[in-house]
Amino acid sequence: MKTILQAENVEKVYRVGSVDVAALRGVSLDLEEGEFLAIMGPSGCGKSTLLHLLGGLLTPSGGRIVLDGEDMTAASDAKRTDIRRRKIGFVFQRFNLFPTLTAEGNLRLAERIHAGGAGGAGGNNSERRREVLSLLKLEDKMHHKPLELSGGEQQRVALARAIVNRPAIILADEPTGNLDSENSAIVLNMFQEMNYRFNQTIIMITHNPEAAAMCRRIVQMRDGQIVAPNTGLQV
Amino acid sequence: MESLVANNIRQRPLRALVSIAGVALGVCLVMLFTGLSRGMSNDLQRRSSNLRAEIIFTRPGGMELTTSTANLSTKYADELLKVEGVAQAVPIIRYVFQGGRGFGFEQVEGVDWDAFAAMNEMRLVDGRAPSAVDEIVIDETKARNGNTGVGGSLALFGGKPYRIVGVYAPESGARVKMSLAAMQDALEAPGKCSYILVKTRDGIDPLAVVRRIESQPSTQGNKIQLTRDIITNIEKTIPYLGVFLRALVGLSAVVSGLVVMLAMYTTITERTREIGMLKALGASRGYIVSVIEREAFVISLLGLVAGFAVSFVAGYLINRAYGLLFEYGWRWALVAAAIGVGGGVLGALYPAVRAANLDPVNALAHE
Ligand SMILES: Nc1ncnc2c1ncn2[C@@H]1O[C@H](COP(=O)(O)OP(=O)(O)OP(=O)(O)O)[C@@H](O)[C@H]1O
Ligand SMILES: [Mg+2]
Average confidence score pLDDT of chain B: 85
Record: contact B281-A90, CB cut-off 8 A: yes
Tell whether A233 is covered by a domain: no
Contacts of A129 in chain B (CB under 8 A): none
Residues B134 and B15 in one domain: no
Tell whether B107 is covered by a domain: yes
Alpha-carbon gap: B1 to the closest alpha carbon of chain A (Å): 10
Q: Per residue in B296-335, pLDDT tens?
A: 999 999 999 999 999 999 999 988 877 778 888 888 899 8
Residues B177 and B245 in one domain: no
Alpha-carbon gap: B355 to the closest alpha carbon of chain A (Å): 15
- Beta bridge partners, A222, equal A225
Tell whether B124 is covered by a domain: yes
* Domains held by chain A: number: 1
Record: contact B281-A81, CB cut-off 8 A: no
* Domains held by chain B: number: 2
Tell whether B54 is covered by a domain: no
Record: contact B361-A57, CB cut-off 8 A: yes
Residues B158 and B190 in one domain: yes
Strands (DSSP E) along B118-269, which ranges?
A: 123-127, 135-139, 153-156, 160-169, 176-179, 192-193, 195-200, 223-226
Residues B300 and B346 in one domain: yes
Whole-prediction pTM: 0.75
Tell whether B129 is covered by a domain: yes
Residues B178 and B256 in one domain: no
Contacts of A114 in chain B (CB under 8 A): 281-282
Predicted pLDDT of residue B275? 94
Residues B95 and B203 in one domain: yes
**DSSP secondary structure, B291-353, as one string:** HHHHHHHHHHHHHHHHHHHHHHHHHHHHHHHH-------HHHHHHHHHHHHHHHHHHHHHHHH
CB pairs under 8 A between A and B: 74
Predicted pLDDT of residue B246? 83
- Walk along chain B (367 residues) and give the pLDDT tens digit of each residue: 347 888 888 888 898 999 999 999 989 988 998 888 888 777 777 777 777 888 888 887 655 555 567 888 999 999 899 888 899 999 999 887 765 554 456 788 999 999 999 888 889 999 999 988 899 999 988 888 778 889 888 888 777 889 999 999 888 888 899 999 999 988 888 999 988 999 999 888 888 899 888 888 888 888 888 887 776 555 555 667 778 888 888 888 888 889 889 888 998 898 999 999 999 999 999 999 999 999 999 999 999 999 999 999 999 998 887 777 888 888 889 988 998 898 889 999 999 999 999 999 999 998 8
Element at B207 (helix H, strand E):
helix B206-215
Tell whether A73 is covered by a domain: yes
Q: Which atom of ligand 1 is nearest to the CA of A16?
A: 4
CB atoms within 10 A of CB B307: 30
Range of the domain at B270: 4-42+240-365
Rounded Cα–Cα distance for residues A200 and A195 (Å): 4
Tell whether B227 is covered by a domain: no
Q: Which atom of ligand 1 is nearest to the CA of A12?
A: 12
Closest residue by Cα to residue B87 from B201, B188, B220: B201
- Determine which of A15, A24, A57, A174 to mutate to test the interface with B (most B C-beta atoms within 10 Å): A57
Residues B188 and B272 in one domain: no
Predicted pLDDT of residue B305? 95
Helices (H), ranges, B241-284: 241-270, 272-280
Predicted pLDDT of residue B102? 44
Residues with CB under 6 A from ligand 1: A 14, 16, 21, 23, 43-49
Q: Kindly tell me the sign of the dihedral angle through the C-alpha atoms of B233, B238, B243, B248.
A: negative
Range of the domain at A143: 3-228
Tell whether B55 is covered by a domain: no
Contacts of A52 in chain B (CB under 8 A): 361
Residues B212 and B294 in one domain: no
Helices (H), ranges, A5-122: 47-54, 77-87, 103-115
Alpha-carbon gap: B334 to the closest alpha carbon of chain A (Å): 28
- What number of CA atoms fall less than 13 Å from residue A198's CA on the CB side? 23
Residues B136 and B213 in one domain: yes
- Determine which of A50, A84, A95, A100 to mutate to test the interface with B (most B C-beta atoms within 10 Å): A100
- Determine which of B277, B281, B294, B357 to mutate to test the interface with A (most A C-beta atoms within 10 Å): B281
Helices (H), ranges, chain A: 47-54, 77-87, 103-115, 126-135, 151-163, 181-197, 209-213
Q: Per residue in B91-134, pLDDT tens?
A: 999 887 765 554 456 788 999 999 999 888 889 999 999 988 89
Record: contact A81-B364, CB cut-off 8 A: no
Tell whether A49 is covered by a domain: yes
Tell whether B233 is covered by a domain: no
Protein residue with least CA distance to atom 17, ligand 1: A48
Nearest neighbour of A118 by CB, restricted to B279, B280, B290:
B290
Interface predicted TM-score (ipTM) over 0.95 = no
DSSP B85: T
Residues B37 and B130 in one domain: no
Rg, Å, chain A Cα set = 17
Residue of chain A whose Cα is closest to the Cα of B365: A94
- Walk along chain A (235 residues) and give the pLDDT tens digit of each residue: 789 999 999 999 999 889 999 999 999 999 999 999 999 999 999 999 999 999 999 999 999 999 999 999 989 999 999 999 999 999 999 999 999 999 999 999 999 999 875 444 444 678 888 888 888 889 899 999 999 999 999 999 999 999 999 999 999 999 999 999 999 999 999 999 999 999 999 999 999 998 898 898 999 999 999 997 544 444 4
Tell whether B231 is covered by a domain: no
Record: contact B364-A92, CB cut-off 8 A: yes
Residues B80 and B196 in one domain: yes
Residues B72 and B32 in one domain: no
Write down which residue in B155, B187, B221 finishes a domain: B221
Predicted pLDDT of residue A234? 44
Q: Please give all residues whose CB falls under 5 A of ion ligand 2, grouped by chain where several chains appear.
A: A 48
Return the CATH number at A218: 3.40.50.300
